[in-house]
């Protein structure tokens, strides 16, 4: 996948591909090939910030009126909806779509940095138009596989946005001394590797879910998307196409989804994030 920047406008590719889901998905063959910010208008205050961007999408599966669908959402650092839209493309080719958001064409003004762009391989068409809450909800509620996620800090281009708080997603590459995979303060579950499987506990210490080595082996590594290994007591465990693992559940306050990804059962370098459903 190609990532481009124009002038001073920095686009950072998030290393993990997050699947915002609480249920298993079928695999889809769609790909997002590139994402480019083409224009930014700064104005005289942060609420004047306007962005235009292109994304190139390779369509492979006819899902709606003979087209393959892709949808995207933009949220700010607090998870507040900023923008959303979708498009359908005919299978067998790559297409570039140009989209934008800004004053008068935005769901909510952003309240924190950075802006997070998430592209989904959706299967049902949302309402027509762009940048309204109905479209945003229709895309997110499909629980579709995520094609790619990008992060953009508006303060890089506009000093007017520098006063907004920057909220860094929780992540770590170290392990707690008791061997847990995710030593995150406030995590809704704690995961351990046990006998080549996974034991998942509530923060209070009660066992929440057991995933056996046999269950993991039976799923293997999917060729694309995310394959459900096991779920129970509100926790879902997936294997991703790069053979890494993803676990998720509702956050402690129930308002967000906590997502944990780690490389393997032996290399438990991990990343975690909480997102609004």
Domain boundaries, the chain: 2-161, 171-275
Q: Please tell me the predicted confidence (pLDDT) of residue 30.
A: 65
Residue with tokens 């393959």: 68
Residue pair 138/173 in contact by the 8 Å Cβ criterion? no
pLDDT per residue as tens digits for the range 209-219? 999 999 999 99
**Is beta strand 226-232 parallel, antiparallel or unpaired with respect to 207-211?**
unpaired
pLDDT per residue as tens digits for the range 23-62? 333 334 467 788 889 999 999 999 999 999 999 888 888 8
Residue pair 237/245 in contact by the 8 Å Cβ criterion? yes
Q: Which two tokens stand for residue 175?
A: 């392990």
**Is beta strand 197-201 parallel, antiparallel or unpaired with respect to 93-101?**
unpaired
pLDDT per residue as tens digits for the range 88-99? 988 988 899 999
Q: Which two tokens stand for residue 218?
A: 């039976």
The fraction of the chain above a pLDDT of 70, given in percent, is 84
pLDDT band for 168, please (50, 70, 90 cuts).
Answer: low
Q: Is the pTM of this model over 0.75?
A: no
């Amino acid at each position: 996948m190609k990532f481009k920047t124009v002038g001073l406008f920095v686009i950072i590719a998030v290393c993990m591909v997050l699947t915002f889901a609480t249920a298993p998905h079928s695999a889809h063959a769609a790909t997002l090939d590139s994402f480019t910010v083409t224009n930014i208008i700064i104005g005289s205050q942060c609420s004047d910030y306007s962005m235009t961007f292109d994304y190139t999408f390779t369509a492979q599966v006819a899902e709606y009126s003979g087209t393959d669908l892709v949808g995207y959402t933009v949220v700010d650092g607090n998870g507040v909806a900023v923008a959303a839209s979708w498009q359908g493309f005919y299978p067998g080719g790559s297409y570039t779509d140009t989209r934008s958001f800004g004053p008068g064409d935005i769901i909510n003004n952003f309240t924190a940095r950075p802006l997070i762009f998430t592209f989904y391989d959706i299967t049902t068409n949302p309402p027509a138009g762009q940048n309204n809450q109905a479209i945003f909800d229709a895309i997110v509620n499909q629980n579709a596989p995520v094609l790619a996620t990008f992060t953009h800090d508006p303060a890089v281009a506009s000093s007017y946005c520098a006063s907004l708080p920057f909220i860094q997603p929780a992540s770590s590459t170290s392990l707690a001394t008791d061997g847990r995979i995710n030593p995150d303060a406030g995590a809704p579950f704690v995961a351990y590797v046990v006998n080549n499987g996974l034991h998942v506990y509530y923060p209070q210490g009660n066992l929440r879910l057991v995933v056996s080595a046999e269950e993991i082996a039976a799923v293997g590594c999917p060729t694309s998307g995310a394959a459900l290994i096991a779920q129970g007591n509100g926790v879902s465990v997936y294997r991703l196409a790069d053979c890494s693992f993803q676990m998720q559940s509702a956050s402690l306050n129930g308002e967000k989804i906590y997502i944990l990804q780690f490389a393997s059962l032996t290399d438990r370098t991990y990343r975690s994030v909480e997102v609004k459903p």
